[in-house]
Amino acid sequence: MRIALKICAVALSFVLLPTGAEFAVADDQAPVPSPTPVTSVAPDEVGASEQPTEATPASEPTDVTTPTSEPGEPSPAVSPSPSAQPSSAPVLPQAMPADVGTYRPGCDTLPARGMGEPVMVGAEPDLVGWTPVEGALFSNPNTPEGQWVVVNQMIRGFQAARAGSTIHVAMYSTTRLEASNAVVRAFCRGVNINWVTDDHGMGYQASQTLRDVLSLGYGSSFKACYLSCSSNYVWKTARLRVVTTVNPLYRPYMHAKYLTFDDLAGVPNVSMLSSGNFTTTQMIAGWNNIYTAVNDPATVTFLNNRFDEMVKDTTGNDYGRQFSSASPAKTSYFFPWGVKNPRSSKQTVTSKTDPYAHFLDSIKCTGAAAGYGTSKRRTQVLVSMYQWSSSRLYLARRLKSLKNKGCDVRVLMSAGEWDLEVMPLLRARGGAGPIPIRNGDRHHTFIHSKYIIVNGRVGSNRRYKGVWTGSGNWTKSALRFSNESSILVTGDQAYNEFKANWNELWSSKNSAAITKLKRKKTVKFDP
C-alpha cells in the first residue's frame, strides 16, 4: 500500500541520512537474519542423492512454450518471440512522468545526504555523452582502476538513463553506496527502476536505501526474495568438502546479476549480465566480468519475463532459454533448470537435464577448420569456475573425456571453493594425462568469473568461437534451486575479449599450478 506523500518524505529523509563512507569490512558483517532463521552457506550444494527439507510449495507454472530441446531435456520457457526477431529500430523512452518538474520525496534534499545536487523529475541524466557498446569488460582487483571496471559499467547505466525509461535489475547483493546513490538520483529524475534481490543482504545500508526509495512507487518497485525467488528448499549435510562447517544448512539464493534497459542513452534494448555484485569484496578481491548486449530486443524481453516470474516469488521452474539473432548471435539461459518433479532432490542433478553437459557433449576435439582451435586444429576448451560441487562431477568427467579425445582443456579455479572430489577426476593420469589447472591468482584475490571459452569444432560447425558466461557456478543449487542468469555468445569479438582475460589470469605472476586440494576449516560465503 502506498503511504501518504508527506509520510513518505519524512521516511525517505531518514533512510538517506549520511552515515559516512562504506568500509571494505562491511561485506563481512553479518546481515539481518531472514524471516525464517537460517544458518546459510554460500550458493553451494551437496550430492544429488541428498534430500532437502521441503517447504510446501505454492506451485505456479510459468509460461512455457515448446522450443527445440536437447535429448532428455525438458522444454524450457521461452519469451514470446515469433520466428521473426522483434524490431531493433530505435525505441524512444516511455512518456515523460506525470510529475515532471517536481521533486519526489527526499529528492530536493540530496545535498544534505551526500548525493549531489537536488534532482527534479525530467532532469538531464547525470552522465551525458556516454553510450553502451556491445562487448565484455573485466575487473582487476589488483589495481585501483581495475577494481571499478565492472561496477562502473552498471553504475553508468543508472547515470545515463533518461526520464521515462525503464530499468530492470536482478542483483544478488548490494553494499556499495555509489550504486544505491546512482539509483536514487535516477529515480528522482523519473527513471522507472524495478529491482529484485536476495534477502540475505538486507542488513546493509545500500540495500535498505534501495528498498525504501523504490518501494515508493512512481513506476518503480523493489522485491527481496526469501531463499530464492523459485524455491524454498533448505537441506543439511554435505559430501567431502574443502570448506567445512558444523551441521551446515544449505539454501538456494536469488543469485542472478543482470540489468536491462528499454532505452539507454538513446540505444534501445540493452542488457548487462555480470558475474559480480555491487559489493566491496567483489571489487577489491574478485576477478569478474560483465557482458553488455545492445540493440537486442529478444534478450531484453526474455530477461524481463524471467524478472516478472521472480517477482511472483512462487516455487516452480522459472527456467528458460532464448536464442537471439541480433549480432552477435547469442542464447540466454535462466535457472533453476526444470525437471519433472522439482520437489524431489533425488533426481534433480543429472547430466540429462543439465544444459552445460549438453554443450560439452556437442564439442568435437578434431576436425576444426584452418585458423580455428590449436595449431593442430584441435578444439580448445578453457574453463574459469568459482565454485564446483560434487553433485556435478559429471561435468568434470566430460572435461577429462574431451582431454582424452585430443581437446586442449585447461581450467582456472578458486582453490577454496571446490568440493574435494572434483580435482581427482580432472587430474587423473589415464588417457591423455591430467588437465592443467591453475588458481589464476594466489594473492589475496579470487576468481569469481564463471565462463567457458570454446574455439574449434562444436557439432557440425568447424568454425566455432563462443563464450558461455554469467552468474551460475557448477553447483547443485545453481542448477536446480537458485535463480541464475547466463548467456552464450558466439563470434570473434566475445571470444577474443574473454581469451585475453583468460591469458592474463593464466600467465599472472601470482598464478600457481594446482594438483590437489586441502580441506579448510573456515566458511567462505559468496560475497
pLDDT score at 39: 29
Question: Which grid coordinates belong to 18?
Answer: 549520511
What's the whole-number average pLDDT of the chain?
78
- The residue that leads in pLDDT, 475 or 275, is 275
With cell 541464475, the residue in question is: 484
- Please return the burial class of 19, using the count of CB atoms within 10 Å of its CB with bins 0-12, 13-18 and 19+: exposed
Nearest to 473 by CA among 482, 460, 463: 482
The single residue listed with the C-alpha cell 569484496 is: 281
Q: Where are the alpha helices (DSSP H) in 16-62?
A: none
Give every CB contact of residue 432 below 8 A, 6+ residues apart in sequence.
403, 404, 405, 406
Least confident interval from 26-30, 273-277, 322-326, 503-507: 26-30
Asked if pLDDT for residue 114 goes beyond 80, the answer is yes
Distance (Å, rounded) from C-alpha 518 to C-alpha 418? Answer: 10
Q: Tell whether the model's pLDDT for residue 356 goes beyond 70.
A: yes
d(CA 483, CA 319) in angstroms, rounded, equals 9
Name the CATH code of domain 39-50+102-316 (choices 1.10.10.10, 3.40.50.300, 3.30.870.10, 3.50.50.60): 3.30.870.10
Alpha-carbon distance of 45 to 41, in angstroms, equals 9
Place of cell 558466439: 490
Share of the chain above pLDDT 70, in %: 72
Here the contacts of 153-156 (C-beta below 8 Å, separation 24 or greater) are 153/272, 153/290, 153/292, 154/179, 154/259, 154/272, 154/274, 154/278, 154/290, 155/179, 155/182, 156/127, 156/130, 156/132
Model confidence at 6, pLDDT cuts 50, 70, 90, reads very low
Which pLDDT belongs to residue 56?
Answer: 30
Three-class secondary structure of residue 44 per DSSP: coil
CA distance 53 to 480: 14
CATH fold of 324-506, please?
Endonuclease; Chain A (3.30.870)
Q: In a 10 Å sphere around its CB, with 0-12 CB exposed, 13-18 middle and 19+ buried, how is residue 83 labelled?
A: exposed
Which range among 244-258, 265-279, 323-337, 432-446 has the greatest average pLDDT?
Answer: 265-279
pLDDT at 21 over 80: no
What are the pLDDT digits (tens) for 442-451? 667 888 999 9
248 or 427, greater pLDDT: 427
pLDDT tens sequence across 379-417 = 999 999 998 888 899 999 999 999 999 999 999 988 777
Residue partners of 519: CB distance under 8 A and separation at least 6: 241, 242, 244, 420
**More confident position, 169 or 7:** 169
pLDDT of residue 246: 41
For 185, phi then psi, to 5°, come to -65, -35
Would you place residue 375 in the very low, low, confident or very high pLDDT band (cuts 50, 70, 90)?
very high
The 3-state secondary structure of 13-24 reads HHHCCCCCCCCH
Q: How far apart are CA 168 and CA 178, in angstroms?
A: 18
For CATH 3.30.870.10, the residue range(s) in the chain are: 39-50+102-316, 324-506
Q: Which is it for strands 289-293 and 135-138: parallel, antiparallel or unpaired?
A: antiparallel
The one-letter code for the residue type at 440 is G
DSSP type of residue 113: G
Question: Does pLDDT of 362 surpass 80?
Answer: yes
Burial 24-45 (b: 16+ CB within 10 A, else e): eebbeeebeebeeebebbbbbb
> What is the spatial distance between Cα 258 and Cα 486, in angstroms, rounded to a whole number?
9
| Rounded CA separation 334/221 (Å) | 22
Q: Which residue has the higher pLDDT, 506 or 520?
A: 506
